[in-house]
Structure 1
Amino acid sequence: MVHQYINNGYHIVLDVNSGAIHVVDEVVYDVIPLFEKHSSEEITGLLREKYSEEEIREAVEEVAQLKKEGSLFTPDTYEAPLIDFKKRPTVVKALCLHIAHDCNLACRYCFAEEGEYHGRRALMSYETGKAALDFLIANSGSRRNLEVDFFGGEPLMNFEVVKQLVAYGREQEKLHDKHFRFTLTTNGVLLNDDIMEFANREMDNVVLSIDGRKEVHDHMRPFRKGAGSYDLIVPKFQKFAKSRNQEKYYVRGTYTHFNTDFSKDVLHLADLGFKQISVEPVVAEETDDYAIKEEDLPVLFKEYDDLAAEMVRRNKAGNGFNFFHFMIDLEGGPCVYKRLSGCGSGTEYLAVTPWGDLYPCHQFVGNEKFLMGNVHDGVVNTGLQEEFKCCNVYAKEKCRDCFARFYCSGGCAANAYNFHGDILKTYETGCELQKKRVECAIMIKAAMAEQED
């Protein structure tokens, strides 16, 4: 499979199955879609009004050489090995600990219903968290590196338990030859110097929630009485990011139908000094006034293109920043079967409620259809686990022929279920935006390589 597109003046050709990317001139770009179905003479006849015969001949030879080298028109040889890969024993490598089903903000788009997750407000006890870490260790097999994300609601509302669980985890590392990678997601309201110092010592990554410009952020992320939270959190986040040397964190925002000019929010965050930025599209019911609408897509596509071009300009000027959805590894990254099989929700990655119930991920919490077990008894709904284990791009009809499948891994199972009632379906709006982000990310890589030359 070959995917071709033009972005910010670059003619880009992606050979999907090999992962090879070619930045080509116009004549090669026009020859490629004709190459496999037409002879050299036929291609010349089809393109002679646009190019000279010599240009066409040289382009055909170049394309033929790329095919011979195995970097163009390569076959898909991954489906059968992926099936074998998915048959391997399941080990749990990561937990999302819902340390607090409570929150001190009332974000309008919150899927967790202000932290309650379709249930009751609750804080995780040390005993439940301890059992969760024990469950993770016991089900991690020979895997040494384990991940635990302190999540909510707002996890800093239960910070004492966070500290106790980190201390317990450090003790268990020595006993079981494991290493915990702890992360924290916070809205910043309760952030202070002591918490920053602790996080800098113990947290491998910290996610700081902010949506961008003051008017955008305050509209969607107010306190429960209506006041905005921007002015309170921005100085804290700036100090925190600086204290982490602008590494191992990112500011994470959500854009909605109300700010389809979201690139301005990304650049606003960059201008505040943040170097690690993620601003992602809201996922919402069509009836929500802030939901992304189909008519928004052309505007959003242009926003991504403009943002990519600005990132290239800023990088060249020496004041670049990272944008999470444009960060793709074209040379390394996860093995191909990991890329094709998704995030690991329901198998390698599980969410834990304050009372110890296990769900496939944080977005399924509260939906009893997806209750998998608990930290004391383990996974008891093995049928559901097998269902998630079989969730991959070849099991999804719309993914099989999509050029982005190696980069998005089939998209979010929760979004697929919430929109179509089936984890093997696809969330169309998310797919369209993901494909545009992949195209922009590749363009940025091409531009960066050109700058290095």
Structure 2
Amino acid sequence: MGYLFYQPHNAHRVEVDGRQLLFHVPTTALFEIDRLDTDVLDLFADRRQVSAADVRDRFEGRVDPDLVTERIRALLDLDIVTDGRPPRAERPPVRIETFPLTTMVLNVNTGCNLSCTYCYKEDLDTPSKGRRMELETAKRSIELLLAESPDRDSYNIVFFGGEPLSNLALIRDVVAYAEDRFGALGKRVDFTLTTNATLLTEEIVDWLNAHRFGLTVSMDGPRALHDRNRRTVGGKGTYDVVAAKARMLLERYTARPVGGRVTLTRGVTAVTEIWDHLKNDIGFHEVGFAPVTSGPVAPFNLTGDDLATVFDEMKRLGRYYRDEALNGRNIGFSNMHQLMTDLHEGRSKALPCGAGLGMLAVDHEGGLNLCHRFTGSGMDTYGTVDTGIEKAKLARFIEDRADRTDKGCSTCRIRNLCAGGCYHESYAHFSDPMKPTYHYCDLMRDWVDFGIGVYGDLIAGAPAFFTDHIMPRRAYGK
């Protein structure tokens, strides 16, 4: 043979309790490897270009040459090693010709009865000044969804705000219209809503239950942490009201599991304490955490030591997740659930999410936004519910964002799990949604490495956890 060349950006090794795992970066597949695999990879890592003589020097007299050849061929098949020909492209360039929408987010009211100090929403108003979506705008949003994806069996309508329940009359009307419209076509429609819980009543909860809403409650933990940022317009803490309403909701709601969503900001980083309170004291089925690193109010953004603390805390809770999972128990840590799902399904993503492709967000005036985070921002819109999607413009954005040429993502080991990170995070941090989220790349790589280790432990010690607890999340849209 001539020279063989190592492609280190396609392979990443992780050790888990003495076991060697190989993460195949292009496909996000995970393999357990033996001593010979390790020795062959070490040879290529040491030399970067390897000749037949190098192979003989390393293995002759120790290992059957046919076995070594077999392992090298496997590395060639995985494009971890190449014979000098140009490496295979991981996937063809992204070309967008259609927009297979499944989800429409309706920004039903810019008004909110809370004044959370870290809120990223650029169009947020006080309750009295809230700009409400009209029913005709919502109807046209639904018709656009059907027009773009007429052959799907199921769809999702998300209600967002402000506080969406502050325009409950519209939500009721939209649900009635959608159930009739989709039902007449023999199609399924699901409804999703994120709420601060303050406006919930028993009657509202029962109505949401009857229509099987997927519900998430925004809550930041015990009183001292929650009240630090989640306050009324008048500046009062909201913990007591939210906790009481959340407990009432969880006692009455039977349609689907209800999750809690936590916003982590400077000074609110006690992940394990927050999870314990929301899961075990309040009773949420799952708890997920969203670190704020690029909000418009800089004093609340996590940077430096605070951000490192958050990821250390996430790993601390992740180890507890692993230990309980090894005994068949699910502690409801959404971030770990998602990472385990990505690794188990072998997802290899060209794009970070479905924003702009499978999902669009409609602002109160009918403008089409990349996602709900962009409504009211300075970011371009991509048409209206009246004129339709500006397809060439939106396709160009998605294609350009997916192009990793000359970006750090091109050789990053988590490029097909992260896919450059959240568009809005980049927009808020760099004023440019085209840039990857470079500001936490190292932490994300460390988080994924941690997840690979947990995944390896669970596959070896509790494979049934995936069928019992991870895959059923698909049934309720997680």
Question: What TM bracket, shorter-length normalisation?
Answer: 0.7 to 0.9
| Structure 1 residues 114 and 452: CA distance shift in structure 2, 3 A | same
Of 123, 140, 156 in structure 1, the residue corresponding to residue 165 of structure 2 is 156
Give the SS at the match of 2:343.
Answer: coil
| Aligned partner letter, 1:78 | E
- Please give the residue correspondences for 1:287-436 in structure 2 after superposition, counting only pairs within 5 Å: 288-317=298-327, 319-326=329-336, 327=338, 328-332=341-345, 336=348, 339-379=349-389, 381-395=390-404, 397-436=407-446
Give the SS at the match of 1:258.
Answer: coil
Q: After TM superposition, give the deviation of residue 113 of structure 1 in Å.
A: 5.0
- Please give the residue correspondences for 1:212-291 in structure 2 after superposition, counting only pairs within 5 Å: 212-241=221-250, 243-244=252-253, 247-272=256-281, 273-285=283-295, 288-291=298-301
Q: After TM superposition, give the deviation of residue 391 of structure 1 in Å.
A: 4.1
Q: Which has the higher contact order (CA 8 A, sep 6+)?
A: 2
Of 72, 75, 100 in structure 2, the residue corresponding to residue 67 of structure 1 is 75
2:111/2:125 contact within 8 Å kept: yes
Paired with 2:457 and 2:57, the residues of 1 have a C-alpha distance of 33
Give the SS at the match of 2:299.
Answer: coil
1:246/1:276 contact within 8 Å kept: no
| Aligned partner letter, 1:181 | D
| Aligned partner letter, 1:67 | L
Matched with 1:449 is 459
Structure 1 spans left out of the alignment, 5+ residues: none
Matched with 2:214 is 205
Q: After TM superposition, give the deviation of residue 196 of structure 1 in Å.
A: 1.9
1:106/1:224 contact within 8 Å kept: yes
Q: After TM superposition, give the deviation of residue 76 of structure 1 in Å.
A: 4.9
1:102/1:121 contact within 8 Å kept: yes
Q: After TM superposition, give the deviation of residue 258 of structure 1 in Å.
A: 1.1
Structure 2 spans left out of the alignment, 5+ residues: 1-9, 464-478
Q: After TM superposition, give the deviation of residue 368 of structure 1 in Å.
A: 4.7
1:20/1:72 contact within 8 Å kept: no
| Aligned partner letter, 2:460 | E
Residues 303-333 of structure 1: per-residue CA shift (max 9 Å, x gap): 2322211111223455422322222233437
Paired with 1:298 and 1:6, the residues of 2 have a C-alpha distance of 22
| Structure 1 residues 301 and 261: CA distance shift in structure 2, 3 A | same
- Please give the residue correspondences for 1:61-100 in structure 2 after superposition, counting only pairs within 5 Å: 64=72, 67=75, 70=78, 76-80=88-92, 82-83=93-94, 86-100=95-109
Give the SS at the match of 1:98.
Answer: strand
| Aligned partner letter, 1:88 | E
Give the SS at the match of 1:254.
Answer: strand
Paired with 1:206 and 1:367, the residues of 2 have a C-alpha distance of 25
1:393/1:405 contact within 8 Å kept: no
| Structure 1 residues 26 and 315: CA distance shift in structure 2, 3 A | same
Paired with 1:434 and 1:413, the residues of 2 have a C-alpha distance of 16
Of 168, 171, 187 in structure 2, the residue corresponding to residue 178 of structure 1 is 187
Q: After TM superposition, give the deviation of residue 190 of structure 1 in Å.
A: 0.9
Give the SS at the match of 2:427.
Answer: helix
Paired with 1:17 and 1:347, the residues of 2 have a C-alpha distance of 22
Residues 315-368 of structure 1: per-residue CA shift (max 9 Å, x gap): 34554223222222334376x4xx213323233321111222222212222235
Give the SS at the match of 2:425.
Answer: helix
Residues 363-405 of structure 1: per-residue CA shift (max 9 Å, x gap): 22223551222212222x4443122331444346122212222
Give the SS at the match of 1:181.
Answer: strand
Q: After TM superposition, give the deviation of residue 195 of structure 1 in Å.
A: 2.0
Paired with 1:146 and 1:182, the residues of 2 have a C-alpha distance of 9
1:40/1:57 contact within 8 Å kept: no
Residues 200-254 of structure 1: per-residue CA shift (max 9 Å, x gap): 2324521111112321111011112222222222243244345556954321111
**Count of residue correspondences:** 440
| Structure 1 residues 236 and 286: CA distance shift in structure 2, 3 A | closer
Paired with 1:208 and 1:56, the residues of 2 have a C-alpha distance of 60
RMSD (Å) for aligned C-alpha atoms: 3.5
| Aligned partner letter, 2:161 | G
Deviating more after overlay: 64-73 vs 250-259: 64-73
Give the SS at the match of 1:147.
Answer: strand
TM-score, normalised via structure 2 length: 0.80
Paired with 2:424 and 2:433, the residues of 1 have a C-alpha distance of 7
Q: After TM superposition, give the deviation of residue 199 of structure 1 in Å.
A: 2.0
Deviating more after overlay: 442-451 vs 245-254: 245-254
Give the SS at the match of 2:410.
Answer: coil
Deviating more after overlay: 163-172 vs 297-306: 297-306
Give the SS at the match of 2:345.
Answer: coil
Do residues 143 (structure 1) and 152 (structure 2) align?
yes
Give the SS at the match of 1:109.
Answer: coil
Of all paired residues, the percent bearing the same amino acid is 26
| Aligned partner letter, 2:130 | R
Paired with 2:267 and 2:57, the residues of 1 have a C-alpha distance of 50
Of 198, 216, 225 in structure 2, the residue corresponding to residue 189 of structure 1 is 198
